Amino acid sequence: MLSLYYLCPKNRKMEKYSEICYIIFEQTTEVYHRTDNTDTPLKNPFKESCLAYYMYKKNWIDAVQWHLEDEIRDPNIEAEKALTIKRRIDALNQERTDIVETIDRYFLDQYKDVEVLPDATINTESPAWALDRLSILALKIYHIQREVERTDAPQEHIDACTKKLAVLLEQKQDLMLALNQLLNDINEGRKYMKVYRQMKMYNDPSLNPVLYGKK
């Protein structure tokens, strides 16, 4: 219930917001790897009315995509299977983008009544796209940690992965701090945000010349 309190707040104090989001990403990653199967159905434990639902779903999509990207790099993969996986990755990537935009619209609604200061600035990255990076980072940390714990790998590999893990953990702390600062700045009117749709042209039959040229 703590995560729901922070993700669907009545008050908008965001000092621990990214930490709660990361907990959800960690939990989702752990649940996915219980089966470690890209065909495992998503069973979202949160209600769709809450932002936590989209956090969980987003990280699940990231986990599925992560492993599909591994599969498609098999040098012995059959062309037909590779094409099937590639199209599945494309579909998931569009779904992921849609979820990020949904999360950003949530933030936009949360801060709609904030009085923006005259000297307020806009950030290069919206809160939801920062959370997108945090979700991917949770997966990176999970997989690098598994490499560190391998018993069948040479010590050189373990040492290299241990160094990478330290960098990722530092990056995690920096990103969470920056996200909390961004949300607080928006809440206090020091920054403002806008939501731009990604407009992925290759998925739009009216904008991709390969698709509309075949009509």
Question: Is there a domain that residue 163 lies in?
Answer: yes
Question: Is there a domain that residue 56 lies in?
Answer: yes
Instruction: Tell me the pLDDT tens digit for each residue of 146-168.
Output: 999 999 999 999 999 999 999 99
Question: Is there a domain that residue 126 lies in?
Answer: yes
- For 85, other C-beta atoms within 10 Å of its C-beta total 18
Question: Is there a domain that residue 203 lies in?
Answer: no
Instruction: Tell me the pLDDT tens digit for each residue of 46-98.
Output: 988 788 999 999 999 999 999 999 999 999 999 999 999 999 999 999 999 99
- Which of 142, 175, 129 minimizes the C-alpha distance to 18? 175
Question: Is there a domain that residue 46 lies in?
Answer: yes
| Pairwise CA distance, residues 215 & 199, whole Å | 21
- Which of 59, 73, 1, 67 minimizes the C-alpha distance to 30? 59
Q: How many domains does the chain have?
A: 1
* Domain residue limits at 67: 2-197
Instruction: Write out the two tokens for 22.
Output: 């990361």
Question: Is there a domain that residue 83 lies in?
Answer: yes
The predicted structure's pLDDT at residue 2 = 37
Question: Is there a domain that residue 208 lies in?
Answer: no
